[in-house]
Structures are given as structure tokens and as C-alpha cells.
Structure 1
Amino acid sequence: MTINHKYDIKLKVADSSAVHLLMRTVHLNLGTRLVENDECPHSRDTYKTNRKRHQTSTSHLQRRIHFIMSSIAVPKDRLRTEKANPRGIPEAKFIENVKDLLPGAVTDADVELLLNELQVRLQQYRLMEQSKTETLANLRVKIPDITKTLEMCQFLKTQEEPIEANYELNDTLYSRAEIQPTKTVYLWLGANTMLEYPIDEAIELLDKRLKLANENKKITLDDLEYLRSNITTIEVNTARVYNWDVQRKRDLKKSGAVAA
């Protein structure tokens, strides 16, 4: 499909990204022409007229582009179902009959395209799995730290007498300190920031963070199990398509030999 404009801007429209590129190009080209006219002393009197024409022509072209965008057919994803988990991760479709996903006259290119789609989907699932695995590792470090901090705040809240404790100055280097009864504590918030809290507020904050971290851990584990199941489905689909293609080629060779 080709768009012709009176400024001789032509572009083959294959997808929406090409359309957006065309719109940006038209605005830049037309805007440049207006600036050039404005810089010319003999054309300054007609600047408003040119600008009005620019707005009119651009608006007309935008309407044509939006019409074309609405008429462009978006290919349907043949490897996904309408189901997804609560986080929106789509469920992989199990291919029961490979022939149902291919056109009537199957060619090697059709099979190769389907195998490439399966590989792309497999990589998408593996990237999500990697991200979830990193999140789980961070939570497994974060949860014990929050738990220890919460327990210490609860301990300090009950103390009415000074206590002596060892504290870490550096790796393998400790010193003794006397901790006076206190009603406030300092919590690290991240980004080299520490904030003072009353002990009750600190306990409440840490308790909420601990519950949220445990909930996120449970959700992450569920997502990982779901992703691994989908990865297995895609791998099985890939094997089924490959084996089906091998059998198809064998049948074609047999039919060719019989015809000969």
C-alpha cells in the first residue's frame, strides 16, 4: 500500500511502526519548509497563510493515515490461548494437530516460520523465568534481613535497663557497646538513606514489609512454576512440529517415487 502526498512523500505501509515514522517525517518536512519560508524576508508576510496550509494538509494526511492503520490486519498469534495467569503471563498453546496451524499447501518455508515462532516464544518465556529467578534470589536475601531487624526492634521495645552487645565494625572485627533504653530506632531505607522512627512505627513498618515480601515470594514461586510448565509445552510443541515435518518430507519422497 502506498501513500501519495502533494509533497511527494511516499512510503510503503507494512505495519503501524512505518505509519508512525511517516507521520513524524511529514511533520518534520512540512515544519522545515515553514521555517525556511519564515527565514526568507520576502516570505514573512505569507507565514500565517503557509502555516494554515500546513495544518490543513497535515490534518488531511493524518486522517488518511488513521484510516489505513484501522484497515491494516494484525496477524493473530497462533501460539497462545485466551488464558493467562493472574499476573497476565499468557498460557502456551499445546499443538495437538500441527496441520491445523499451517496452510493447505504446506511448504518448507511455512514449517520454518512456525518453528521460528516457537523459538521466539520459548525465548520470551525463558527471559521471564530469568527475571523471576533474580527476583526470588533478592527476596531470599531480603526476607531474613527484615526478620532480624523486626526481632531486634521488638527486643529493644521490651528493654528497660542498659544492655551490652557486640557490634560489627568490619568483616571479622567487632567491638562492645552499651545500649541505653530507647524509644526510637534508625532504619536503612536504601540509597544510603537512614530515617529515625519511633519503635512502634518501626515495628509496624517492618511487619508490613515482611508480609509483602513473603507474599511476593509466594507469587514469584507460582509464576516460576507456571513459566516452567509453559516452557515444557513449547519444547514439546517444537519436537512435534519437527517430527511432523520429517514425516511430511518422507511422504513427499514416497509419492514422488511412486509417480516416477
Structure 2
Amino acid sequence: MDEKTSTPSKIIKNKLQSKTDATRLTLIRAGISVFSRKGYDGASNRLLAKKAGVNLALISYHFGGKRGLYFAVIRHVSHKLGVRFAPALKKIESEFSQLEQIETVEKQRDACLNMIKVLLSANLDLLLNRQTASWAMLVYREQQLPSKAFSLLYNESLASILSALEKPIAFVIQRKVSDPEVKLLALSLLAQVQLVRSARHMLLQHMGWETLSEPEVMQLKNYLSTQVDTLLSLRHHLPR
């Protein structure tokens, strides 16, 4: 078959592939919306198809059923989280590798504390972003009622965030990265940020806030910064 004959066939194939990819993405986006609001059990195939605006049979055709779609949704969100956090993680990795170039230990500690604050702030911004609110709700649901997809979520996004926190924490409190104290501190600090999602309405009610606008967000970030300084300073002075 010559090149002229094969070209139309290739164009048709590419168009069909593009249409397939577009349908899969539409279903995944619908899945993010529905699963985040309804959970896995509360999301029916009919509801998912209606949200996507596609034929019900396409869920089985593209994903083998609701379970396959759910895994695709978690994989998609994990990838998006990885992309979103990549700049902050790369910056921390670079700064931490150059830590020895800073002249005093005290300034090195300050640099590490700043790395932690930057990463927590980035996490807070993501949780408060309306465009990523459904991602955050899915992550929250998976932490509360983990499915078999949780390992995927943890390994492809959450683990890298915790690991990035553990390195500067370990330096500040003068422990090994593998020390349980370091791991628990990383979890504790990240959990404080996730309070914005997991206990949002209680936070607003208790603080007397109508919404989380810029002044309130700044107050939260200042509080987190103080918490990092206080908590890690206390741990730094505790006996091993």
C-alpha cells in the first residue's frame, strides 16, 4: 500500500482515537464530580453516564464498569496532584541538596522550616481552590473509607508529599528520616492543613467566618507557620 492510500486511513484512525480519548476524559471528569459528592457506593452507572452526557454502555466499553472508571479517576487525580505539586517538591529537593552551602546551622534550620511552610501552604492553596475541590474530597473519602485504589493514590501522590516534608523535619529535630517521630510529625502537620477540607464547616462556624476569603486564608497560613516553628522547636529540644 503506497503512502497516498494509507494517509486517509491514518487520518480516520487518528480521529477515532481522539474521539475515544475525549470520551474517556469526559467520563473521568464526570467520575471525579460524582464520586467526590456521592462516594463509590452512591454513584450509579446511570448517574455517571448522565453527568458525562454519554450512553450508559460506554462506561463498560471504556473502563469495564464502574470499578474500572473509579480506578481511572483515582489515577487521573493522582497524576494531577503530582503535576500540581511537582514545582514545590522540585524546589524543596534542590534547596535541601544545597543546604550545606548555608554558613550556619541556625540558618540551615531556618531554611528547612521555610521548606516545610512552603509545601504546607501549597497544599492549603490546593484544598481551597474551587477547581481542585473535588480532588480534595476524593482524597478525603479515600482516607476515611479506603478502597483498593488507595494504594495507587498514596504511592503516586501522597507519599511524595510526606517524603518531601520528612527530610527538612528530620534535619530540624536532628533525627533520621526513617525515625517514627519524623514520620508522625509530617503526618501531623499535613493533617492540620487537611482540616480545611475535612472539617471546613466546623472551622467556619467556630471561627465565626462566613467564608474562607483572602484575610481568613492568610490567618490560617500564619497559624500554620507558627505551628511549624513551635512544634518543631519543642521536638528539637526533647531528649532522644
State the TM-score, normalized to the length of structure 2.
0.30
Using CA pairs below 8 Å that are at least 6 residues apart, which structure has the higher relative contact order? 2
Structure (1/2) with the larger helix percentage = 2
